[in-house]
Structure 1
Amino acid sequence: MIPFLRNTWRGLTSMRTALILLFLLALAALPGALLPQRTLNANKVADYIAEHGWWGRLLDQLQFYNVYASVWFSAIYLLLMISLVGCLLPRTFEYVKALRTKPVITPRNLSRMPHHSESTVDKSADEVVAQATKALSGWRKVEREEENGARTISAERGYLRETGNLVFHFAMLGLIIALAVGKLYGYEGQVIVKADGSQEFCNAGVLPYDSFQPGLLVDGTGGSPFCMKVKSFDVNFLDSGQPDLYRANLEYQSGADLQTGKWESYGLEVNSPLRTEGDRIYLLGHGYAPVFTVTYPNGQKRTMDTQWRPTNQTTLLSEGATKFDPPGITNAEERRTKQIAVTGLLAPTARLHGSLLDSSFPDLRDPMVAVDVLRGDLGIDNGRGQSIFTVDQNLVDDGRLKKVARENLKPGGEITLDDGTVVRFDGVKRWVYLQVSHDPAQVWVLVFAIAIITGIGASLIIKRRRLWVRVVPAADGRTVVEVGGLARTDQAGYGEEFERLSGAVTGGKN
């Protein structure tokens, strides 16, 4: 049993295993990029499963819609960390030991080295040794004396190659740990904010968000304190309909400004997030919210500007449902018969095919809505959550919610229902889709990423090589100089360096 465990540990902590696990981790992350993830968009996951049938259900059972929290991804992640630690610690000890060890003694037969030269010079042994020492400046070297009176110099260079290798692998380990810390203590939340300054968003828990993805150790109560509101939204479209500018003009408070009431301004763009209190606010998208006013027979009015979602990202044709609860009715049963929903399509630049509405351009040039007005029970009193973009189709099928009107409206257009209720389309507002991200380890991720590039660059550029010099006094008063060289790693060009060094040692005579 013990030999089996020992061999298993040796195999797990080998560098080959670490590289294989690193490749498997990259391979395992691919489904997270190619498939919808439940933590980001549960509705898209449900649509994908419904569209692909048994294959979609199988992927769900295998946790492919929650890749980064899956058992198999976590297992690869953990094994990679163990492997890296297990193989790096012994290598580090060996490297420290090698740094403290003197270069190896000069081989007896230098002519067997891959690079070799021998010459006789008209200089004393002391002069040759001094010349060789100067030529090998910057090399780790040691001078020795052999039994026959010959003097040798052993020199080695390129130790930083292994330093770069270790820096690369330790930085890789640090990057993995930093990413894990970010998943444990970070969070992401998405929120839609109206772009007219009327809606203030404060990072005060989970409730203000439309969707929220906390880290494993985050309960949503310790978010960074800040508030913001979108004063306006600037967008410019090319003639083709492609946008070339998105900018949300924010005002925000954080830190001491929350006490003083001071607001700071910031132009939020797609690739220019706002960074405050350790959080980052990104601009993800935008859309439109039609404004409807319902005037009830008793003269009371309700105005709503619920956001509608784009169904066509090119023309921003949008769909949605704006829901109204009648005022002044305390009887629950009666109220459930008089709730109103205005559903349909919004075209920022209207194009009609007969009575069918479409949009020809994404900007607000000629807005129009094609709406159905539904009256009855919207299901908003039953305590269950529902989408703000749609009505519950089951209520329509049961006859509890009935269509009472259908019309195409331009701003200012009205529909009068059979009971005297008037529904007016007032106009369109803009909204922006923002994401708040918190990652306490993001600075360390950057540091380790830079260290990875630096380390791998050093390990690729720097080459290990050795050089030996043997100086033997000749009988005629001259000196025999023998130089041998060995590249510890494959390196094109070491021959040129060896020729230069051997020439410098012998004074240019070979």
Structure 2
Amino acid sequence: MPGGDWTDADLKVNWPLDIGGTKMYLLSNGFAPVVTVRDADGEVAFSGPVAFIPQDNNLRSLGVIKVPDGLAEQVGMLGFFYPDPVEQSDGIFQSQSPYIGPSSLLTLTVYTGDLGLDEGVSVNAYSLDTDGLTQVAGPKADAAALELKQGQTAELPDGLGTIEFTALKRFVGVEFHHDPTEGWVLVFSLLILGGLLVSLFVPRRRMWIKAVADGDAVHLEYAGLARGEDPGLADAVADIARRHAARLERRMNP
């Protein structure tokens, strides 16, 4: 309720949180490094957390940092965050666990050029189109990719400024689901189940009465057909014949 007190609750996978009839599901979680980008004069051009999307169970995460204004050129950075990094023999990093360690590492490949943000067309915040961009730090550039631990600052190539790995935050991806028809779905499901049970346990029979002229008299024949095994079919046909004969007798002799 607006203005009400805050309450603590656990939100887990397959354990939704019910808020006023609306269920909140946990879909994912990850890390959001907080970075601060400054120009050559020390003025802040960008600052804030950036969600990095996990790529494996150890939360090796991929993220994109875009700085369209405040620097001499537009800058885009494609990076990986490693909660618990370990360097492979080929120089590539992996994360050996999903837990934050003292050596948590942020690596960034830096590009300059038109990021496509000034054309009025929506752009995916979690991807970077490198076509038409110039790599100024990374495997295809003269400068190596940037490597930052929390609290460290690195120089951007070509005197563009600096970037600082300021802090680290967590984020979660959630989904909200509200269905006011759940009660009716339950009611109709129970009705369908009840109908199924009736069809399974109540015998389904067809009965016939055949009248055949026999001179001045009428000969009546009774028959029945069951769907499947029905040990009580013969008794049911006999009961109908008996009741029918009694009714005819009452009508002929009121």
TM-score, normalised via structure 2 length? 0.70
- Contact conserved, 1:386 with 1:392, CA < 8 A, in 2? no
Aligned to 1:462: 202
State whether structure 2 residue 111 is matched by structure 1 residue 411: no
* Structure 1 counterpart of 2:95, one-letter code: S
State whether structure 2 residue 222 is matched by structure 1 residue 489: no
Q: 1:432-476, CA deviations, whole angstroms, 9 ceiling, x for partnerless residues?
A: 11112233323222222222222212211222469xxxxxxxxxx
Q: Secondary structure of the residue that 2:8 maps to in structure 1?
A: strand
CA distance in 2 between counterparts of 1:364 and 1:391 reads 26
CA distance in 2 between counterparts of 1:385 and 1:403 reads 25
- Contact conserved, 2:64 with 2:77, CA < 8 A, in 1? yes
Q: 1:472-510, CA deviations, whole angstroms, 9 ceiling, x for partnerless residues?
A: xxxxxxxxxxxx996743246649x96xxx9xxxxxxxx
**Count, aligned residues:** 212
Aligned to 2:32: 289
CA distance in 2 between counterparts of 1:413 and 1:494 reads 87
Return 5+ residue gaps in structure 1 as ranges.
1-256, 328-334, 467-483, 503-510
2:48 to 287, 293, 304: 304
Aligned to 1:347: 82
* Structure 2 counterpart of 1:403, one-letter code: V
CA distance in 1 between counterparts of 2:223 and 2:181 reads 47
Aligned to 1:357: 93
Instruction: State the Cα distance separating 1:292 from its structure 2 match.
Output: 1.4
**Identity across the alignment (%):** 29
RMSD of equivalent CA atoms = 3.1
- Contact conserved, 1:344 with 1:371, CA < 8 A, in 2? yes
Instruction: State the Cα distance separating 1:350 from its structure 2 match.
Output: 0.9
CA distance in 2 between counterparts of 1:376 and 1:342 reads 11
CA distance in 2 between counterparts of 1:452 and 1:461 reads 14
State whether structure 2 residue 68 is matched by structure 1 residue 338: no
CA distance in 1 between counterparts of 2:131 and 2:223 reads 84
User: 1:166-185 residue pairs with structure 2 within 5 A?
Assistant: none
CA distance in 1 between counterparts of 2:99 and 2:190 reads 42
- Contact conserved, 1:320 with 1:388, CA < 8 A, in 2? no
CA distance in 2 between counterparts of 1:325 and 1:278 reads 42
CA distance in 2 between counterparts of 1:455 and 1:261 reads 46
* Structure 1 counterpart of 2:78, one-letter code: T
- Contact conserved, 2:203 with 2:230, CA < 8 A, in 1? no
2:128 to 391, 410, 418: 391
Q: Secondary structure of the residue that 2:132 maps to in structure 1?
A: helix
CA distance in 2 between counterparts of 1:493 and 1:421 reads 92
Return 5+ residue gaps in structure 2 as ranges.
138-142, 207-221, 240-254
Aligned to 1:424: 164
* Structure 2 counterpart of 1:416, one-letter code: E
- Contact conserved, 1:349 with 1:359, CA < 8 A, in 2? yes
State whether structure 2 residue 11 is matched by structure 1 residue 268: yes
CA distance in 1 between counterparts of 2:230 and 2:83 reads 64
Q: Secondary structure of the residue that 1:380 maps to in structure 2?
A: coil
- Contact conserved, 2:42 with 2:161, CA < 8 A, in 1? no
1:382 to 119, 128, 143: 119
CA distance in 2 between counterparts of 1:429 and 1:364 reads 11
Aligned to 2:217: none
